[in-house]
Amino acid sequence: MLGADDAVTAALAARGWPARPLADQPLGVDLLNTRWVAGGVAYDLLDHDDLTEAWLADRELPTGRPVPRRQLREARDAVAAVIADPADHAALNALLDRGRVRLAVDEHGQVEHEDVADPAWRAAWACLRDYLRLREATPDRLRKCANPDCVLHFQDVSRTSRRQWCSMTACGNRFKARRHHDRVRGQA
């Protein structure tokens, strides 16, 4: 369920890791935020089976054995590449080719089935499909945080569409302060 991060929060606490920042993003972007940097340390949920399973459970995605960490990581890299450079879509298309949406009807109307032949790819493919949905719904609003040291991404839902930072306190203010500091030093 969107925004719910209960299992991840518990699994992180069990490892003594800090809480995950920016856990409120829709699935297609949330995949990218399974890694983050805090206090100069890089964290990655997809490095560990327990954390990956917690994330999959919170997102109501299928898992299995082995835990599909490699597939999720490949999907994450492919989406990050396209956000950084829209022309860099070869990897993403190769992964999308692993599944199909099959249309059908039932007594209530149209239904869509995700057909992914390899069960190990079902979760990653669902993330990629959600990313496609987001980029159709809000083109040019899926961004990486403007702090070059930060790896977080977000969907900008602000009215002005000018959000630059994952969070003003975590990155915006710190980055502005550093830029100011560099400017002052440059003038000296």
Q: Which residues bind Zn ion (CB under 5 A)?
A: 145, 147, 150, 152, 166, 171
Q: Which is nearer to Zn ion, 147 or 155 (CB)?
A: 147
| Largest separation between any pair of C-alpha atoms in the chain | 74
What tokens appear for 107 in the block? Answer: 């007594």
Q: Which is nearer to Zn ion, 7 or 37 (CB)?
A: 37
Q: What share of residues in the chain are helix, strand, coil (percent, to 5)?
A: 50, 15, 35
Q: Which is nearer to Zn ion, 48 or 172 (CB)?
A: 172
- CB of 6: closest distance to Zn ion in angstroms? 24
- CB of 166: closest distance to Zn ion in angstroms? 3
Q: Which is nearer to Zn ion, 123 or 145 (CB)?
A: 145
- CB of 167: closest distance to Zn ion in angstroms? 6
- CB of 21: closest distance to Zn ion in angstroms? 8
- CB of 126: closest distance to Zn ion in angstroms? 26
DSSP string, 149-175: T---EEE---SS-----S-IIIIIHHH
What tokens appear for 143 in the block? Answer: 């961004």
Q: Which is nearer to Zn ion, 63 or 155 (CB)?
A: 155
Please, what is the Cα angle at 139 between 151 and 62, to 5 degrees? 60
Instruction: Indicate the Cα dihedral angle 158, 178, 38, 161, nearest 10°.
Output: 10
